[in-house]
Amino acid sequence: MDDAGHLPVLLDEVLELLVPALHRQDSTDGKRVIIDCTVGCGGHARALLEASAGMAMLIGIDLDESALLKTKQRLAEFAKDVRLFQANFSEVRTVMDEAGVKLADVLLADLGVSSAQLQDASRGFSFQVDGPLDMRMSSSGPTAADIVNKLSQKELADLIYAYSQERFSREIAAAIIRARKAAPITRTTQLAEIVTRVIARKSPRRRWRIHPATRTFQALRIAVNKELENLSKLLEVLPSLLSVGGRAAIISFHSLEDRLVKRAFSSMVSRGTHRLLTRKPVRPSADEIRVNPRSRSARLRCVERIK
């Protein structure tokens, strides 16, 4: 694990795909531009800056203020080439305007949560440690507790199913409604226990490949942070963000995200403006999964702008 406590996923593969766009030989005035849409703990950002050998500047975006504070220190030696923005990557064009940058040579989005966010109990992302049922990547907007305590049974069941394909979504929603009649659900472990009890009744423990609350927590996190809407907005503007020869890579962690990326990249290719650099999504090696289990569901896709 690196000094920021977060191992960047598929790092070698990201560098192999993106770095050639930083060292291409066409004429350019000034430095190459890297946009890290999810700079997080700065692991990918640092490696990209190192690989650029002083030839690039980096715009780092993240919703999470505490991540940005740590990353500022972590990238201190590159300070003159780094600008960090607390923003949603759905607003990447506005951030670029503010930074005075028209096009990106490299764009990366490593979606989802960081290990730092997962491990910080006070953020409420984890069913394994007790904390407030929050799950927000920024500090504004409704929390997971707001959703769990306010939605109707049908709305909850539909949300859990839509964002995780949890097959016991209806039973879980019914159990949530029963529990919240007694007292509001405000803690992560409270919700994890409610879900675990439902699944324990429905399927034998020996069949559990993952913690039974994994899918419900994923669904709530996606809803709280509007993850699919934000990704769709990024993908909508992406074709116009890259310079010719510029490359974009997106790492997704579940099939709902990957499907959006796959479709958007295919339509860019069919318009003749981009080519795919990954015919199939790149997956982590068995070695990487052993060292970093968080990487197990990662899928990386990459495109290059050709005109």
**Residues contributing to the site for ligand SAM (CB under 6 A):** 6, 8, 38, 40-44, 61-64, 67, 88-90, 110, 112-114, 137, 225, 230
Burial class (CB in 10 A: 0-12, 13-18, 19+), 103: middle
Q: Which is nearer to ligand SAM, 135 or 175 (CB)?
A: 135
Q: Which is nearer to ligand SAM, 47 or 199 (CB)?
A: 47
Least separation, in Å, of the C-beta of 161 and ligand SAM?
Answer: 22
CA 5/CA 203 separation, integer angstroms: 35
Residue 127, amino acid: F
Least separation, in Å, of the C-beta of 38 and ligand SAM?
Answer: 3
Least separation, in Å, of the C-beta of 248 and ligand SAM?
Answer: 14
Q: Which is nearer to ligand SAM, 173 or 301 (CB)?
A: 301
Q: Which is nearer to ligand SAM, 89 or 168 (CB)?
A: 89
Least separation, in Å, of the C-beta of 153 and ligand SAM?
Answer: 29
- Give bridge partners of residue 250 from the DSSP assignment: 109, 301
Q: Which is nearer to ligand SAM, 36 or 304 (CB)?
A: 36
For the chain, the C-alpha Rg in angstroms (whole number) is 20
Least separation, in Å, of the C-beta of 190 and ligand SAM?
Answer: 24
